[in-house]
């Protein structure tokens, strides 16, 4: 029987800390997870975009999942990223992998292939039928090269009860509003962009899967809580407080920006894996000035 899952609130898209030699820093990962759990993170997304997942080996992914699940200890839900531009590859993973300690799967719109809307529907149809856990679909056309329209999202949401949410990062408010207005009751809309989390919640979204939440989970969780409870003045004040920093976090790409912040806070080395590189020194100093 499919478990119920509520993804309301602040989800954090967890980074992958690296040591100077580019090996995964599992000690830093454990410390960061503990910080997030104790500072009002509602759920955690493991092996998403912010984790630099395409630059990780299969053995590293397996170990990161193991470490994260063990450290979280069921205190908050865990959403695991399982994505590919090969539908059969995702289906195989969902049928064969062990998902003990995982509460939901998140899968991004296939990238590079540029499928049609019918191709997107059939891709997620295959994944939904194979998934042993609730499924979150992820639309981020700036990275994938393809936008999943409101019509396709709603078709998926209405046809498959185990597809429980969408992480929407298209930035298209008309599209997002259409999904919110016409979605089935079991389906939740989550902002995939920190900068517009407040207005999406105001439209009827349930929260955000956040990058900046890696560093400021308590503060950004407070913004989400105020927005969800209708305290728009305080939500707006907190969101406005972070505007400049959020912009800077993406000037030199993500997760370079948030890793520079976490480095300043002492949680990880300022290290990424090629082809990603740290922010430029000038950007680092601008971020430091705000912090």
Q: Which of 86, 7, 50 is nearest to 261 (CA)?
A: 50
* CA–CA dist 135, 80 (Å, integer): 10
CA 40 to chain centre: 16
Of 26, 43, 121, 138, which residue is the catalytic one? 138
DSSP assignment of 201-258: HHHT--EEEESGGGT-HHHHHHHHHHHHTT-HHHHHHHHHHHHHHHHHHTTT-TTHHH
**Alpha carbon separation from 286 to 271, 277, 281 (Å, rounded):** 18, 17, 9
Q: Is 138 a catalytic residue?
A: yes
Buried b (16+ CB within 10 A) or exposed e, 111-145: beeebeeeebbebbbebbebbebbbbbbbbeeebe
Distance CA 47, CA 64 (A): 8
92 classed as catalytic = no
Given 61, 167, 183, 259, which residue is catalytic? 167
Q: Which residues are catalytic?
A: 138, 167
């Amino acid at each position: 029987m499919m478990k119920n899952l509520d993804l309301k609130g602040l989800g954090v898209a967890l980074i992958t800390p690296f040591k100077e030699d580019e090996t995964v820093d599992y000690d830093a990962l454990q410390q960061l997870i503990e910080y997030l759990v104790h500072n009002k993170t509602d759920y955690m997304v493991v092996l998403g975009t912010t984790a630099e997942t395409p630059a990780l080996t299969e053995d590293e992914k397996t170990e990161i999942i193991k470490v994260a699940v063990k450290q979280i200890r069921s205190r908050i839900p865990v959403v695991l990223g399982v994505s590919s531009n090969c539908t059969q590859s995702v289906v195989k993973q969902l049928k064969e992998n062990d998902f003990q300690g995982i509460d939901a799967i998140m899968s991004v719109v296939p990238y590079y292939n540029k499928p049609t809307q019918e191709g997107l529907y059939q891709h997620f149809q295959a994944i939904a039928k194979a998934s042993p856990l609730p499924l979150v679909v992820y639309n981020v056309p700036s990275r994938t090269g393809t936008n999943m329209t409101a019509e396709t999202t709603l078709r998926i949401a209405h046809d498959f009860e185990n597809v429980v949410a969408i992480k929407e990062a298209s930035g298209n408010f008309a599209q997002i509003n259409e999904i919110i207005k016409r979605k089935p009751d079991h389906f939740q809309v989550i902002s995939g962009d920190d900068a517009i989390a407040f207005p999406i919640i105001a439209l009827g979204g349930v929260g955000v899967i956040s990058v900046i939440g890696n560093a400021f989970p308590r503060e950004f969780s407070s913004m989400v809580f105020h927005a969800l409870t209708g305290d728009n003045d305080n939500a707006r004040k907190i969101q406005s407080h972070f505007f400049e920093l959020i912009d800077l976090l993406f000037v030199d790409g993500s997760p370079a920006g948030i890793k520079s912040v976490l480095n300043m806070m002492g949680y990880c080395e300022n290290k990424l894996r090629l082809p990603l590189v740290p922010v430029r020194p000038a950007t680092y100093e601008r971020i430091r000035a705000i912090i």
